[in-house]
Structure 1
């Protein structure tokens, strides 16, 4: 076996890249995230392949761009034939377990066509993104006039009920709601309630509950018997923005960094950006009173995530598992938090599309990079390739479009590394697409970033957005229609076009297999282009010469 026996792959939902003390946040304290960074490498330029949950996660799990796997938004099924990291690792003798959220929607029509049922081992894996299921909890259990958001019961809700929390939805009534002065429910959906402590004991809230499930797994026979990847996927600090005490009171308005935005951004904005900026979420987060309530709650949720991560590190250290377990910490996307007059995610400013990424490699070969940072352009699809190499395998480049980060962990610089990072966003399901009058086939955005210039290309005839991050690191000066930048826009557009022409769907046969086939048709008796015997070697002449076995004309 390779020196890495196990991989703990930790993902937080909607965690910004800059809300860690090791990343330079002036008031946020994350001692345990920092603790991992001191043991590993923190990648400072890590970008997701889409700034929305479902599409981003499908790229993480497949190692493929959104345009390749096709699950371009939340609820879009992942095609039944797409291989995931679980499929790749299982071939190498490593199990792959899910604990938490995937936001994956199975291709039920494709499964039915192939006769796959969810009660079979293979069918269950296909329906769960290639993972074996320890516990799946996608973390959103609201209920409206048309019923629950998810049809399947929530394990976390059932857990709260088992502890005696009343009602059919303690996820909402307790874990994501406080109590008003008159004793009524103060829902976390109303952002004015963000700093009210959630009506649940802290140890019963979502993040500790999932940490407990992970500790159960680490102590299980399954974890002891075979090498494993455990994908521990938290819902927080994703909305609803409300935290239990003591985290609800840990931060206040004095800890809130001023919003990164200018009035100039609202003057004749790029139309798609303008539509998102002026939706209900953007308008809400443009108000200072909203940020002063929500951002401290968001920070409190991050602090709880950090404390629970510390529990995991303590356990791995006390059991000796730090010596053979790779640990990865990242997020599926960020959160605008009022920056650029936006809320949520969706577009390609750094606070949305750039994510934290810390990797700890326990091997001696990674000793020289401990506690360092790496500024290379990294994409989320690189993790599948990294895990395959960590498990002792060879990355199938005709399937996995990402590249292993192992050289950086060893302190090496690859001879050739990517010159751009790409991200995609399909906003065809959004209200904004309807308001802009954009057909579903045109409601797609692309980001291309070369380390200095970041361009957003919008289909549908809209102008691009362009930022010079060297001279404008806060991405406040959109030069998408600046004549002085025409050459830069043309260069990036050509590079994006070249990327779009890549071979991405030939996943059933590798380049090595194709090369091995070259010129082999003659050895199988196919002699195209031959005029007479002089065009063939004696060996090849044998099958087509000799006495006839009779004349049947």
Structure 2
């Protein structure tokens, strides 16, 4: 088999890299994901292009940095001209579909400008980030309480007897009080209670079932399925028996120190004042929420085990590349923070496991790869796997295929990874810091030891992950580290200077331009 026939791209939402037993978690057992790692390559140092759902996913789907695709925060439309996974793979005969979440927001003004007819096949693909929406469920409906929510999952729940306008909230993401009242999962104090739903009807098993239905339907036709699981993203609530599988004694010590609070970086200090950070700074909150987060991860692992067994039973494991990753992490109280967004490893580093079914990958099975990897590397990897050309004038990642096939030692690799974040949508933070909309950008450059963070309008941060792996000591003001900061700043500037500009002009067109123009009669300066 010279090329891969099918690709299963599994993404969890808000799964930390270190909350899997194969990545070293001391008490959370994930045997099915561990078994996947034994069949493939586990990448130890993978970083997302932005530690926020929307921009991170758009980088995965386009193979481009956020600065290039411009969907810089949640609910910011991906420009209509950006090509995504489906645009690259569909012409090669693959059915490219989605089961789960994308966080995609359509560029409706761009579509209208191009005369796209809403509901047409092409319009739907543009609205759904290039995926055929086999079953899309972003799972978060913050503005829909009090109105009827219409999604395939809500329809499924109603068919199972869970009534109401929003069964996603009232059952799958809430508990039930002693008098039958709804105890919303949005309130973290309810995290230890079981969700008010049969486990088999909750979000993770439902979407795994939908993935298996899709694969059955394909027969022998080639396919690409993006299985994008909503969990362990908040609301932090999970059905029995997963709600009490873990307790406070299973919770890892928070990576934080009082010194981080004593003289913090201004932007970091502002994020420590967020409600989620103030909550997760309390031991009571961590001991209630983190065991539930672990239960959500355990549920994901159990049901992925069902899916992997199904692939073996149907023989699809023999011709399907499987990729497992996350869109970003979750602070869970580390560094006195909640949520994600900043650049500590708890937020910007993700798990990545790739199983290539081809014989060429046999030598690397069960190995750990320590090269620096970026999320944008997956799309060129997919193209290589199916034998398609990688358009290097558009895609900014690089294929992992040499690392999967044991040629890593002879393959020059990147020395620095980059991530970026724009906190302008965080209006309270922006106001507290006195920043204008265009003054809220920050960037990370990490070379495997030194993590340098540049902030527009503020001093940088610097962490030495060799001597300070928990990133507790900010060396951004240390005079002895000025040469390191200068070198890392130049790395960042060099990266920003080299964003792709030739999306419509492949290298061969540029290289042949003089020859073509002269043949066309353009003879500049001819006497």
Offset, 1:172: 1.2
Give the secondary-structure state (helix, strand or coil) at the position aligned to 2:97: strand
Superposed displacement of residue 161, structure 1? 1.1
Equivalent residue, structure 2, for 1:541 = none
Deviation at 1:228, TM superposition (A): 1.1
Gaps of 5+ in 1: 532-553
Give the TM-score normalised by the residue count of structure 2.
0.98
Mapping of residues 214-363 of structure 1, within 5 Å:
214-220=211-217, 223-363=218-358
- With over 3 angstroms needed to count, the CA separation of the structure-2 counterparts of 1:97 and 1:2, relative to structure 1, is farther
The alignment partner of 2:516 has SS state of: coil
Residue of 418, 422, 425 corresponding to 2:421: 425
Deviations along 1:232-271, whole A, 9 cap, x unmatched?
0010000000110010011111100111100000011111
Q: Evaluate the alpha carbon distance shift between residue 152 and residue 507 of structure 1 in structure 2; reply closer, same or farther with a 3 A threshold.
A: farther
**Contact kept? 2:149, 2:165, Cα under 8 Å:** no
> What SS is found at the alignment partner of 1:115?
coil
- More displaced stretch, 283-292 vs 408-417: 408-417
Asked whether the equivalents of residues 149 and 166 of structure 2 are also in contact (C-alpha less than 8 Å), the reply is no
Q: Does 1:153 align with 2:161?
A: no
1:27 corresponds to: 27
Q: State the secondary structure of the residue aligned to 2:263.
A: coil
Partner of 2:64: 64
Which residue is equivalent to 2:476? Answer: 480
Contact 2:96 / 2:223 at 8 angstroms: preserved in 1?
A: yes
Is the contact made by 1:100 and 1:136 (CA closer than 8 Å) also made in structure 2?
Answer: yes
Match of 1:383 in 2: 378
RMSD: 1.3
For residue 175 of structure 2, give the secondary structure of its aligned residue in structure 1. Answer: strand
Question: Cα offset for 1:519?
Answer: 3.1
Q: Distance in 2 between matches of 1:518 and 1:500?
A: 28
Contact 2:48–2:327 (CA under 8 A) maintained in structure 1: yes
Superimposed CA distance per residue, residues 217-238 of structure 1 (whole angstroms, 9 cap, x where no aligned partner): 0111xx2253111000010000
Q: Deviations over 1:2-52 (max 9, x none)?
A: 431000000000000000001110000100000100100000000000000
> What is the alpha-carbon distance in structure 1 between the residues aligned to residue 502 and residue 123 of structure 2?
24
Secondary structure, counterpart of 2:180 in structure 1: coil
* SS in structure 2 of the partner of residue 378 of structure 1: strand
Deviations 1:274-333 (A, max 9, x none): 100111111000000000000000000000000110011000000111000000000000
Shift of 1:93: 2.1
Unaligned runs of 5+ in 2: none
Structure 1 CA distance for aligned equivalents of residues 154 and 359 of structure 2: 43
Map of 1:523 onto structure 2 = 519
**Contact 1:447 / 1:455 at 8 angstroms: preserved in 2?**
yes
Residues in 2 aligned to 1:528 and 1:140: alpha-carbon distance in whole angstroms:
60
Normalising to structure 1: TM-score of the pair?
0.93
Instruction: Report the Cα distance in structure 2 between the residues aligned to 1:109 and 1:42, rounded to whole angstroms.
Output: 41
Structure 2 equivalent of residue 496 of structure 1: 492
SS in 1 for 2:255: coil
Change (3 A) 1:75 1:314: same
| Rounded Cα–Cα distance in structure 1 between residues aligned with 2:154 and 2:363 | 45
Q: Distance in 1 between matches of 2:6 and 2:136?
A: 20
Q: Is 2:50 the counterpart of 1:50?
A: yes
Cα distance between partner residues in 2 of 1:449 and 1:364 = 33
Q: How does 1:47-196 map to 2 (within 5 A)?
A: 47-143=47-143, 153-196=150-193
SS in 2 for 1:345: coil
* Residue from 394, 397, 400 that aligns with 1:402: 397
| Distance in 1 of aligned mates of 2:403 and 2:26 | 28
Cα shift readout 1:373-419 (whole Å, capped 9, x = no counterpart): 10000000000000010010121000110000000101111532111
Deviations 1:143-184 (A, max 9, x none): 567x66xx9722211211111112111111111111223332
DSSP 3-state at the match of 2:237: coil
CA contact (8 A) 1:92 1:392 kept: no
Of structures 1 and 2, the larger Rg is shown by: 1
Moved more, 399-408 or 160-169: 160-169
Q: Runs (4+) of structure 1 moved beyond 3 Å?
A: 142-145
1:466 aligned residue:
462
Kindly indicate whether the alpha-carbon contact (under 8 Å) linking 1:333 and 1:345 is maintained by their aligned counterparts in 2: yes
Secondary structure at the residue paired with 1:466? strand
User: C-alpha separation between the residues in 2 aligned to 1:522 and 1:510?
Assistant: 19
Greater displacement, 479-488 / 90-99: 90-99
Residues 112-145 of structure 1 deviation map (CA, whole Å, 9 limit, x = unaligned): 0001123111111111111111011001134567
Task: Spell out, residue by residue over 1:344-383, the C-alpha distance to the aligned partner (whole angstroms, 9 max, x if none).
Answer: 0010000100000000000111001111110000000000
Q: Give the C-alpha shift of residue 503 in structure 1.
A: 4.0
